[in-house]
Amino acid sequence: MKTVEKRIRECVSNGKKAFVPYMMAGDGGLDTLHHKLIFLEKCGATAIEIGIPFSDPVADGEVIQQAGERALANGVSLRKVVEELSGIKGKVSVPLILMTYLNPILAFDMKLFIDRCLEIGIGGLIIPDLPLEEDGLLRERLEGTDIALIPLVSLTSSDDRIQDIAVKAEGFIYAVTVNGITGGRDHFGEEVVEHLKRVKAVSPLPVLAGFGISRPSQVEQLGECTDGVIVGSAIVDAFYRDDLESVRSLMNTSDGKFKIGIS
């Protein structure tokens, strides 16, 4: 069992739900990365998803796109993020998950990238534009390591498709809750809840809901039918506005299930 999965299962076994915040590396300066990671860990993050700025982020909504553009304008790249993380190895105890697109990995050199991820202790990779049918080369290189290749399941995925993804999945299943890109939504209908239940029913791994979750009430709603949630745009926007209290509020909902590790 890879560390990311283990941490989520420990959370659930203790009657909690996993909370994975997403942040854009380099938004506000790459030198802020360490402080933001420490803050999110103290707020109770089960793991932390670190976004890598990219020029064509097809899965990202306006808030995360703009954060990526600001980071790119500051000269942030996958290579520089990896270098920055190498300098803070051991200072953050929760698993770190890199969310990047395939091109930056290829430009880095896939073997070298994985070697560097192993050196700095990266716990997972999320690559939205890498389909299941084409992930063999990367998956082979990750065999026997503690790096989980975490897949996304969309609302439009068929039962057979979900089953195929679940068989190969590592770490957890990232169950997408909207048709389209990231960004806050006003509400989630019953079809989303049914989708999450469907994924949960066939997955041997924990299932986390993500995309569009921006309010404590939504964290609670979608957490009820999954093992936890991933929150991105709301966290990114709060960091941009230096509104740390909003981050704390999102990560500590009223039912207490997310109240872990508070400092």
Whether residue 263 lies inside any domain: the answer is no
The predicted model scores a pTM of 0.91
Reported as a single tens digit per residue, the pLDDT across 149-196 is 999 998 888 999 999 999 999 999 999 987 654 544 455 778 888 899
Reported as a single tens digit per residue, the pLDDT across 17-48 is 999 999 999 999 999 999 999 999 999 999 99
Per-residue model confidence (pLDDT) at position 213:
82
| pLDDT over threshold 70, residue 239 | yes
Please identify every residue annotated as catalytic.
Answer: 49, 60
Whether residue 254 lies inside any domain: the answer is no
Per-residue model confidence (pLDDT) at position 252:
77
Give Cα separations from 85 to 24, 90, 128 (angstroms): 13, 10, 22
**Whole-angstrom Cα distance, residue 116 to residue 239?**
27
**What is the rounded average pLDDT for all residues in the chain?**
89
Contact 150, 171 (CB under 8 A): yes
Number of H helices, E strands in the chain: 12, 9
Measured over the CA atoms of residue 116, residue 123, residue 45 and residue 215, the dihedral's sign is positive
Residue 20: beta bridge partners? 230
Whether residue 258 lies inside any domain: the answer is no
Percent of the chain whose pLDDT exceeds 70 = 92
Reported as a single tens digit per residue, the pLDDT across 95-107 is 999 999 999 999 9
Per-residue model confidence (pLDDT) at position 216:
78
Per-residue model confidence (pLDDT) at position 56:
82
pLDDT confidence band for 263 (50 / 70 / 90): very low
pLDDT confidence band for 249 (50 / 70 / 90): confident
Whether residue 261 lies inside any domain: the answer is no
pLDDT confidence band for 254 (50 / 70 / 90): very low
Average pLDDT over residues 59-75: 90
Per-residue model confidence (pLDDT) at position 253:
54
- Number of domains the chain contains: 1
**Whole-angstrom Cα distance, residue 85 to residue 88?**
5
**H-assigned helices in 143-189:** 159-168
DSSP codes joined into one string, 51-64 = EPP-S--TT--HHH
Whether residue 257 lies inside any domain: the answer is no
| pLDDT over threshold 70, residue 199 | yes
What is the extent of the structural domain holding 171? 3-247
Antiparallel, parallel or unpaired: β 148-149 and 124-126: parallel
Whether residue 253 lies inside any domain: the answer is no
Average pLDDT over residues 50-71: 88
**Whole-angstrom Cα distance, residue 85 to residue 63?**
24
Per-residue model confidence (pLDDT) at position 187:
57
Per-residue model confidence (pLDDT) at position 137:
85
**Whole-angstrom Cα distance, residue 174 to residue 187?**
19
Average pLDDT over residues 188-214: 89
Whether residue 262 lies inside any domain: the answer is no
Whether residue 62 lies inside any domain: the answer is yes
Beta strands in the chain (DSSP E): 18-24, 48-51, 96-99, 124-126, 148-149, 152-153, 173-176, 207-210, 228-231
- The CATH number of whichever domain residue 243 belongs to comes to 3.20.20.70
Per-residue model confidence (pLDDT) at position 181:
47
**Whole-angstrom Cα distance, residue 259 to residue 255?**
9
**Whole-angstrom Cα distance, residue 32 to residue 50?**
13
Per-residue model confidence (pLDDT) at position 186:
52
| pLDDT over threshold 70, residue 259 | no
